[in-house]
């Protein structure tokens, strides 16, 4: 039995027209649904915008991950300090003050050296002077240093004459003679405070080298940590003891060949400036 034709010749013309239009409408609807579903599935999901902070954090994480995979880590700038310094808050405060005074001394010396060599001053002289003034003020307020020295320094720092000099170089920043005069005065005050700090650390080194019950090799290791100050005064004091060990002038202390070699190596570091 054959299926009935879609358009029966016996059906009236109006019914045949309705069937034709209905079929077309159904086909269009089905086609539209198929197209919509396919196009929707092919569109990628929207990506949330990343903020600048998020992008920066991601970059930091990626860099850290890459660094870890490569086997390299960022070196630490913190020097290895003796336990006598790091064991207490006062010890660290004293060290930080010493480092600040050392920096000021070096920077002020750069002003004075340039003036003596060519009659000029560095372009950042006023910045150096301002920083040195704050370092001296910190030292004058530090109860870790002797009171009489602090009082003398504070008195000169706060004197009307010195304050007038400070104001004068602000009004006339190009007055090199005034700048050198102020730098010289601050360098003197810095030197007085730093001398007290130097004496404190030298007494530590002396006690370490002469009275410590530790084996000489361990004492030399600790002495080498004082070289991380990068301070010529402290390094020079350590070098004094190293020369005694090198020459055998150690009294009743027995020095092994290994300890003597270690002392010679440390002394070479100091003399070459690699401290």
Lookup: tokens for 13: 């013309």
Which pLDDT belongs to residue 57? 39
Lookup: tokens for 165: 């000099």
Residues 242/234, Cβ–Cβ less than 8 Å: no
Residues 127/136, Cβ–Cβ less than 8 Å: no
251 or 208, greater pLDDT: 208
Location of structure tokens 């309705």? 18
pLDDT more than 70, % of the chain: 71
Phi, psi of 80 (to 5 degrees): -85, 115
pLDDT of 6 > 60? The answer is no
Residues 139/145, Cβ–Cβ less than 8 Å: yes
Which pLDDT belongs to residue 254? 81
What DSSP string describes 209-237?
HHH--S-HHHHHHHHHHHGGG--HHHHHH
| Mean of pLDDT over the chain | 80
pLDDT tens-digit map of 137-146: 999 999 999 9
Mean pLDDT is lowest, of 76-90, 111-125, 139-153, for 76-90
Residues with Cβ within 8 Å of 200's Cβ and at least 6 positions away in sequence, in order, are 94
**How far, in Å, are 48, 57, 105, 176 from residue 172 at the CA level?**
57, 46, 24, 9
Handedness of CA 200, 204, 209, 210 (dihedral sign): positive
Q: How confident is the model at residue 29 (pLDDT cuts 50, 70, 90)?
A: low
pLDDT tens-digit map of 89-101: 999 999 999 999 9
């Amino acid at each position: 039995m054959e299926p009935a034709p879609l358009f029966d010749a016996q059906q009236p013309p109006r019914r045949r027209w309705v069937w034709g239009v209905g079929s077309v409408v159904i086909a269009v609807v089905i086609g539209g649904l198929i197209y919509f579903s396919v196009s929707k599935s092919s569109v990628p999901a929207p990506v949330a915008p990343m903020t600048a902070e998020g992008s920066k954090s991601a970059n930091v994480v990626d860099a850290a991950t890459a660094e870890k995979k490569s086997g390299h880590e960022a070196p630490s700038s913190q020097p290895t300090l003796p336990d006598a310094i790091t064991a207490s808050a006062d010890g660290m405060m004293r060290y930080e003050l010493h480092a600040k005074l050392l920096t000021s001394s070096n920077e002020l010396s750069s002003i004075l050296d340039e003036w003596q060599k060519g009659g000029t001053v560095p372009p950042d002289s006023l910045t150096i002077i301002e920083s040195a003034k704050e370092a001296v003020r910190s030292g004058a307020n530090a109860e870790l240093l002797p009171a009489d020295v602090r009082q003398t320094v504070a008195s000169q720092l706060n004197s009307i004459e010195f304050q007038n000099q400070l104001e004068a170089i602000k009004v006339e920043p190009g007055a090199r003679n005034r700048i050198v005069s102020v730098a010289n005065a601050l360098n003197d005050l810095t030197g007085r405070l730093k001398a007290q700090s130097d004496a404190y650390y030298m007494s530590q080194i002396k006690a370490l080298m002469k009275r410590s019950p530790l084996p000489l090799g361990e004492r030399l290791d600790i002495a080498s940590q004082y070289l991380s100050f990068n301070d010529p005064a402290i390094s020079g004091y350590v070098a004094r003891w190293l020369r005694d060990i090198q020459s055998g002038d150690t009294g009743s202390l027995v020095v092994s060949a290994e300890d003597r070699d270690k002392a010679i190596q440390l002394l070479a570091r100091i003399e070459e400036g690699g401290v």
